[in-house]
Amino acid sequence: MMALDPHLQPYLGMLKESFPRGVTRAERAALLSLLFSQFSERNLADLLAEFLDDERVVVIADAIKAVSKSDRDLVTIRRVRTVLADHGWDFDDGDG
């Protein structure tokens, strides 16, 4: 795996603090959906490939699927967003 760019390290730290035991399948989809608009495709792939211990191409494909689903699990998305915010994540979208 590639070395993570230094500017992404704080985000990786927040992810690890937020989910010290990793994420479930539903949380993974929620995480991909939430963070898709927060990063460039490259940064999203790098960050989440490192956190999820997955390939960059798989992360991007899964993120596209997650944001494209019409039946997204909004309860899990809200819960994951709250967990991230509680660990310092600033979504900077005016929506708390």
Could you state, in chain order, the average pLDDT of each consecutive group of 10 residues for the chain (96 residues)?
86 96 95 93 95 95 90 91 95 56
Res 94: pLDDT: 43
User: What CA–CA distance (Å, rounded) separates 26 from 59?
Assistant: 14
Res 49: pLDDT: 96
Res 2: pLDDT: 64
Q: What is the pTM of this model?
A: 0.87
Q: Exposure string (b/e) for 39-61, b if CB count within 10 Å is 16 or more?
A: beeebbbbbbbbbbeeebeebbe
Distances (CA, A) of 83 to 25, 28, 30, 58: 16, 13, 12, 24
Res 58: pLDDT: 95
Q: Give the CA diameter of the chain.
A: 35
